[in-house]
């Protein structure tokens, strides 16, 4: 599960970097920016769902105050 989380976070950062690069290339690259940000949002939602499912099935144990 830790590997899945790390890969998702790296994908989110890479997609954000790709959007930044496309945005700095000029206004004619707006379709690339939208596509990169859409991928980032999709990865973020998938990561959130994976964390919820992992917590539900006991794959992830939350660290609370003891």
Each residue of 16-58: pLDDT tens digit? 999 999 999 888 888 999 999 999 999 999 999 999 999 899 8
pTM (2 d.p.): 0.83
Over 80: is that where the pLDDT of 66 sits?
no
Instruction: Please write down the HEC assignment for all residues of the chain.
Output: CHHHHHHHHHHHHHHHHHHHHHHHHCHHHHHHHHHHHHHHHHHHHHHHHHHHHHHHCCCCCCCCCC
């Amino acid at each position: 599960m830790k590997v899945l989380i790390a890969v998702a976070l790296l994908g989110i950062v890479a997609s954000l970097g790709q959007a930044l690069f496309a945005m700095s290339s000029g206004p004619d690259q707006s379709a690339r920016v939208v596509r990169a940000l859409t991928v980032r949002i999709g990865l973020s939602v998938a990561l959130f769902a994976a964390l919820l499912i992992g917590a539900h099935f006991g794959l992830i144990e939350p660290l609370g105050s003891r």
